[in-house]
């Protein structure tokens, strides 16, 4: 049972992890896995993952912010420098953290339209080439796009808006 959180891995989070671990949750998807305001170091991220393990919690490791620069406002990015930086950063994160026992999956993208299929395919293949042991998770609000993107994710979360109160 997972929970979306924003916990700065380059900040204070132990009390929040204790609260989460005391509840029914066993997994967190932390939007701030890679830092808040400034980048978290590999050591800070590893320390966060270790703290999760101490509490028997898992992480869906967020990489989605590295794709947002190329997919901002659902526009395909043609800047080769941005694309190369994204590839290098994602490759480094996956290589450094794929063996940590708290990593349950990789969160690749959030609500990206099929117009960006080339970048989604490249990102999916990059992550899978580096780590075929963990699934890739994505999230969508538009359920009409799900079938067109089944080949660029292993698990999909849906968050259609608005959520009916019935």
Q: Tens digits of per-residue pLDDT, 72-97?
A: 433 445 566 666 777 888 999 999 99
**Residue 51: its pLDDT value, please?**
97
Express each pLDDT in 104-118 by its tens digit. Answer: 999 988 777 667 777
State mean pLDDT over 158-166: 64
Element (H, E) at 5: strand 2-5
**Residue 72: its pLDDT value, please?**
43
Round to whole Å and give the CA distance between 116 and 6: 26
Round to whole Å and give the CA distance between 42 and 4: 21
Q: Are 28 and 5 in contact (CB under 8 A)?
A: yes
Q: Measure the CA dihedral 24/25/26/31, to 10°.
A: -170
How far is Cα of residue 29 from the mean position of the Cα atoms in its chain?
Answer: 7
Express each pLDDT in 16-53 by its tens digit. Answer: 999 999 999 999 999 999 988 788 999 999 999 999 99
pTM of the shown model? 0.86
């Amino acid at each position: 049972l997972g929970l979306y959180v924003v916990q700065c891995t380059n900040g204070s989070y132990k009390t929040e992890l204790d609260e989460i671990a005391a509840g029914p949750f066993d997994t967190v998807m932390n939007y701030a896995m890679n830092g808040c305001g400034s980048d978290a170091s590999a050591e800070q991220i590893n320390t966060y993952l270790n703290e999760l393990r101490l509490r028997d919690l898992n992480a869906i490791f967020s990489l989605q912010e590295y794709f947002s620069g190329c997919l901002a406002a659902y526009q395909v990015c043609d800047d080769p420098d941005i694309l190369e930086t994204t590839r290098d950063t994602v490759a480094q994160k996956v290589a450094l953290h794929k063996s940590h026992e708290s990593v349950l999956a990789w969160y690749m993208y959030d609500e990206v339209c099929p117009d960006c299929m080339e970048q989604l395919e490249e990102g999916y293949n990059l992550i899978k080439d580096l780590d075929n042991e963990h699934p890739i998770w994505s999230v969508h609000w538009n359920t009409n796009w799900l079938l067109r993107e089944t080949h660029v994710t292993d698990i999909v979360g849906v968050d259609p808006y608005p959520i009916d109160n019935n």
